[in-house]
Structure 1
Amino acid sequence: MQLQTKDHGGLLVVTVCEDRIDAAGAIQFKERMREVTEAPSGRVVLDLSRVLFLDSSGLGAVVAVLKLLGPERKLELAGLTPTVAKVFRLTRMDTVFIIHPTLTDGLQKVG
């Protein structure tokens, strides 16, 4: 699972460089996220703008990363494609995560 990271002064941006997070890649996604989020940061913004497909295993992996970060670190999502946004909406996970329309929006300070 290819991920790119960029530090924005206490804000870690993780961009998923794959077009899908599904059963075949969910475990690898969780492992890579664990690796890239080891260093402390206040917020983590997961850029999903390249992800065109997310199944229940992929959704479970994103939720697992949220739990992995713990209550003191926020996992925020940015740039959800319409199909991926629909998965979050239908499962009501859009009420659990802070979701930014774009990565640029996600880079702004959250109150």
Structure 2
Amino acid sequence: MDLRSRSENNLQVVSVHDPRIDAAVAIEFKDAMRASTDGGGDTVVLDLSEVQFIDSSGLGAIVAAMKHMGQSRTLALAGLTPTVDKVFRLTRMDSVFSVFPTLDGALEELNS
């Protein structure tokens, strides 16, 4: 699982550089997210623009990463591809997370 983390203004951006977050990589994703976000800023933006497929295990891994961050921190999602966006809408997880069409849009809105 290839995750890359960087700081941009007061935000931490974690970009997923893999086409899938599914049962085969869910535990690895969860561990990588924990390692990337521990000690990070109050707001983390998860860039999913390269992810073409997500299943229930992947969705659960993202929820687990959010819970691991704690209630005082926020996990926002950006750049959902149409297939991934559909999964979030069908499961109503789009009401749990702040979802932004693009990473640039998320950065602009969250920094204002």
Report the secondary structure of 1:76's partner residue: strand
Alignment of 1:32-47 (within 5 A): 32-47=32-47
Letter in 2 for 1:3: L
Q: Is residue 88 of structure 1 aligned with residue 88 of structure 2?
A: yes
Alignment of 1:9-88 (within 5 A): 9-88=9-88
CA distance in structure 2 between the aligned counterparts of 1:55 and 1:96, rounded to whole angstroms? 17
Deviation at 1:6, TM superposition (A): 1.0
CA distance in structure 2 between the aligned counterparts of 1:72 and 1:105, rounded to whole angstroms? 23
Number of residue pairs matched? 111
User: What's the TM-score once normalised by structure 1's chain length?
Assistant: 0.96
Identify unmatched segments of 5+ residues in structure 1: none
User: What's the TM-score once normalised by structure 2's chain length?
Assistant: 0.95
CA-based RMSD of the aligned residues comes to 1.0
Aligned residue number for residue 102 of structure 2: 102
Letter in 1 for 2:32: R
Consecutive aligned runs of 4 or more in structure 1 exceeding 4 Å deviation? none
Q: Percentage identity across aligned positions? A: 56
